[in-house]
Structure 1
Amino acid sequence: KALENALLDAFRNHNALKRVVRFHLEENLENIAGSSETPLVKVVNNLVDWADSQGKIAVLLIGAYQENSGNPRLKAFYEAFFQKYYLWDSPTPPQDFGPDIDWRGPTESTELQGFWQSSPDWYDVGFLQGAIAQSNAVCRIEIPSQKITATGVLIAPQLILTNYHVLHPNDTHDLQANALDTSLQFGYISGEDEVQVFRLDQQEPILSSSPPQELDYLLLQGERSLCNAKIKPVSLGVQTSLAPRMGLNLLQHPAGESLKLSISRDGITGLYPEKGWIQYVNKAVGGSSGSPCFNDDWQLVALHHAEKSRSFGTIREGILLSSIYPHIQSFLS
């Protein structure tokens, strides 16, 4: 009922509601909820019932919020709803970012949602301690001149891994110039006053790379003072066995915010080592590109790089560390 009231407050005529349904649900409002002659209250009731039966309540809510994010009642419902699923304080509608995804997982919304187990009443303290320990090596990446934010991870005393497309979103960008303008911000965490900021090495900032259509990674070399910062690199899970419906955990700076943790207890939908891909349902948004993906033992197993919205839900993809590792191994010895 609260969702219906929010929709009625935000969309006060049939035409406004038709736009939400057409562009975000890819449906015709009249076909699923009633014609323009049907009272709007009844149309909204029918629409919510239909979305619930199709497993598309979240898709409807996201679409409505994107169309009218300034409505106070809709905004309040949206934030309350997504705080149950997002661990960051200010929910952001999923947005397309990163390279295209050749999705090979479920294409029915109910099946896709089946990869989300409900959150437990409590988490093992050891598990959370593992997250905290690895979080020290995760940095917020900022390129001030381009207004770009992303995420990176320290994998050796002076070496940071992130996505190629972070520093080179398209051909209008100069990869080398962006590298020299890049800021690495470690400890960008809520409640922490001391953020350690470093630049990349000005002579050789990029040691190894693969473009977005391949493995979409950059191995960056930080300035020498990063070696003296006593930041422990993450544990690498190069030989780790992964399988669909295993847990996956992302440490990330969504939308450039302070560090957040996204946990899925069974979120892996598929593994495609011949392509170097891992696909999953963990929540992420723009700014999460380059986020480290960990298994439940807190070993780095992949690098998050793309999110796309589909009619059946939002899909995400990362690049397996086991595919990247042979290309960067010589720099780690």
Structure 2
Amino acid sequence: MSKSNFALASMENEKDLIKKDFLGQYDRDSGPFGLPAELAKSIAVPNAEKLGLSIRALSQTKDPSFSEKDATLERIIERNNFLPSWFAYVGDLRQRAVCLISASGLDYLGREGRWRGSAFLVSGNILMTNHHVINTAEVAGNARAIFNFQTDQIGNDLPTIQFKLRPDLLFLTDKQLDFTFVAVEGEPGKDFGCIQLSRAFFNITDGENCNIIQHPGGERKVFVLQENEVKKQTPTTLLYSSDTMAGSSGSPVFDNEWNLIGLHHATKELDPPDPRHLNEGIKISAIAVALEGMVNNPSNRAAAQTVLDLFSGSNSVTGYFGAMGRKVDAADNGEEIVVKSYTGDDEDIDVGFWNIEHFEKTYADKIPVVAEIIIDLNLDVWAFEEVSPKAIKLLVGYLKNNYHMNFGYLMSEPDAADGKQTTGIIWNESSVVCQRDPWPETVQDWLNAHSSTFTGLDDGNEAVDGFIFNRYPERFYVKTANSEKLDFYLVPLHLKAMPEGSKRRRMASEILSGAVSYSDKNGGLTQNWLLGGDMNATLSSNDFSFLEDAGMIALSAEDSEDGAITYIGRPKSLIDHIYLSPNLHNSTDSAFFIVARDKDIPRFTKEVSDHRPILVRLSKPNGAIYPENGDFLKTLDAMKKAIAGTGE
């Protein structure tokens, strides 16, 4: 394969073309993850450097020890050249998915010609490369992806396989973040595999090594290993000292565990005393955030969602829901979306409800894993069921000592004994303010009612023995800490599963609906309510229907594992949409609820409890929001079937 008639895909005049990062170049004071203090504060991660280092350390400490004595994790990630025995094997699997791109037409500068670059598969038939390698659908239509362009161990060329690209099925590109996704004819992934995309933000720190698989100079595939130190970072980019050449554009950048962390795209010149030239890659986490914003552009929506569905994990900076509901415009480019998403933390409040089974007894074993989940999902508030005051207190201490995150906590029953099962909340003190706002005395009497004395329902001969609420459902007031007030009442619920559970839920629904109404009439702080937890079914919506007469809305959603929420909203509320984790079913079929279908609950939550957490984002109105209606889902399904059909 002669290269004599080809140019090489590269960024020209890189110093001018790579725009100054939105945080002010490569700030030497921004820490090893590229998060300056001002931005870290705005995203409610004030100790970002310590948090990131702790995440990196814990990710390499599979079974961190825990004691009740304010145990603080102190671990230095040292550089060395010791690599696990599987390093070469996994590296070989990754390299198979990397291909050479042969393209022609008008390049990204409008010049006619032919050129080469690198790319890699992110699914069976979707590949990723740079915008300046494949800049338009027309270029993609004439391009070829060439796999296996490499030699064996004695220098003999291996047989190559070429595939056409299918931009008519999927094509998505962004000039500012310099990425392109495009469909491939057939299914090369069956033979060559693919590379997993991840939203993870804290996946490498300055001083660690990265690895690149590339086609330098448009020639045969090579590895660049080990002496590739990450020098600097920003929220969108990595700078590293790897050897690359023109033609390497579009190569995947990996950490030392072969996790994809970046998309190589250019060389950048730095000022002394730094090395004069470093290579630059776009962070995969930034590309994920950009895609989440692109879903608001009707022309790109199906393509962006199709690619988003390939991502796993959470971004510990933007939180579980990422850019969903953040203020972005349909015309925003990828970089603008990232800027707005990373600085829009005060536009929403994220809440999780979780029944951590037997946490009051087994906290010593579970706290490290629970803390890891809390940090990974980066919610503002957690409402826990079946926990004890002692377990919550130790969890909050562990989060502070090991992740340098300050959480407040309150129990629904403040005088409960240390080992008593009850409900409680914890919250990130940098993002929200929470306080106990006890129910009026009349309502407290209702909530403490015994079923044998409850006369509000006529249920025939069905008997209920015991308190209607096994765990007292306290009322907490939640609001944003640093912005125009977004507020609501939060009521954690646990209606213990019993044979007479349906009757108990009806009683509970009647009491809670009356409690909401009574609070409204007697000067409550807010008229927005979020009631949720382990309820075995949604609360009876009919019991809340009378609120509609006052212009309020009552909506419910439930999952298949006994978790549910009910939202009650006031007229002219700042809360415009509620985003749900995909394990929740929108039982009201309302466009007010939007399911985060491309998100996944961490699999290791099952190590802690059989109950998955249910997650909710309450969001301000921020321009055009496109609900997942039937038309869009049909379009999305048709696109995926068409792409998959090329491999049949």
Query: The TM-score by the shorter chain falls in which range?
Result: 0.5 to 0.7
Tell me which amino acid in the other structure corresponds to 2:127: I
Q: What's the secondary structure of 1:226's corresponding residue?
A: coil
Does residue 154 of structure 1 match 2:116?
no
> Which residue of 2 is the match for residue 193 of structure 1?
158
CA distance in 2, matches of 1:302, 1:160: 14
Indicate if the aligned counterparts of 1:158 and 1:222 stay in contact, CA closer than 8 A.
Answer: yes
Deviation, structure 1 residue 228 = 6.9
> Which residue of 1 is the match for residue 252 of structure 2?
292
What RMSD in Å do the two structures reach over aligned CA positions?
3.0
Larger RCO of the pair (alpha carbons < 8 Å, separation 6+)? 1
Q: What's the secondary structure of 2:250's corresponding residue?
A: coil
Encode CA deviations 1:278-326: one digit per residue, 9 max, x unaligned: 1111111100001000011101111001114568532211100011124
Q: What's the secondary structure of 1:255's corresponding residue?
A: helix
Encode CA deviations 1:150-176: one digit per residue, 9 max, x unaligned: 0001011111110101123xxxxxx23
Deviation, structure 1 residue 222 = 0.8
Deviation, structure 1 residue 193 = 2.3
Structure possessing the higher radius of gyration over alpha carbons: 2
Structure number with the higher helix fraction is: 1
Tell me which amino acid in the other structure corresponds to 2:128: L
Deviation, structure 1 residue 247 = 1.0
Q: What's the secondary structure of 1:128's corresponding residue?
A: helix
Task: Give 1:17-96 correspondences, 5 Å limit.
Answer: none
Does residue 301 of structure 1 match 2:297?
no
Deviation, structure 1 residue 220 = 0.8
Q: What's the secondary structure of 2:137's corresponding residue?
A: helix
CA distance in 1, matches of 2:83, 2:218: 26
> Which residue of 2 is the match for residue 314 of structure 1?
277
CA distance in 2, matches of 1:195, 1:262: 22
**Structure 1-normalised TM-score?**
0.58
The answer for unaligned runs of 5 or more in structure 2 is: 1-7, 29-78, 106-112, 292-303, 310-648
> Which residue of 2 is the match for residue 218 of structure 1?
180
CA distance in 1, matches of 2:266, 2:189: 33
Q: What's the secondary structure of 2:92's corresponding residue?
A: helix
Indicate if the aligned counterparts of 2:121 and 2:189 stay in contact, CA closer than 8 A.
Answer: no
Deviation, structure 1 residue 329 = 5.2
Q: Which of residues 225, 232, 236 in structure 2 aligns to 1:270?
A: 232
Q: Which of residues 11, 18, 22 in structure 2 aligns to 1:100?
A: 18
CA distance in 2, matches of 1:127, 1:262: 14
Does residue 138 of structure 1 match 2:98?
yes
Does residue 183 of structure 1 match 2:144?
yes
Deviation, structure 1 residue 194 = 2.1
Indicate if the aligned counterparts of 1:184 and 1:198 stay in contact, CA closer than 8 A.
Answer: yes
CA distance in 1, matches of 2:307, 2:11: 34
Identity %: 22
Indicate if the aligned counterparts of 1:250 and 1:293 stay in contact, CA closer than 8 A.
Answer: yes
Tell me which amino acid in the other structure corresponds to 1:194: P
> Which residue of 1 is the match for residue 173 of structure 2?
209
CA distance in 2, matches of 1:278, 1:286: 18
Q: Which is worse superposed, 189-198 or 149-158?
A: 189-198
> Which residue of 2 is the match for residue 28 of structure 1?
none
Encode CA deviations 1:35-86: one digit per residue, 9 max, x unaligned: xxxxxxxxxxxxxxxxxxxxxxxxxxxxxxxxxxxxxxxxxxxxxxxxxxxx
Deviation, structure 1 residue 232 = 1.2
Deviation, structure 1 residue 216 = 0.8
**Structure 2-normalised TM-score?**
0.31
CA distance in 1, matches of 2:139, 2:89: 35
Tell me which amino acid in the other structure corresponds to 1:314: H
Tell me which amino acid in the other structure corresponds to 1:104: Y
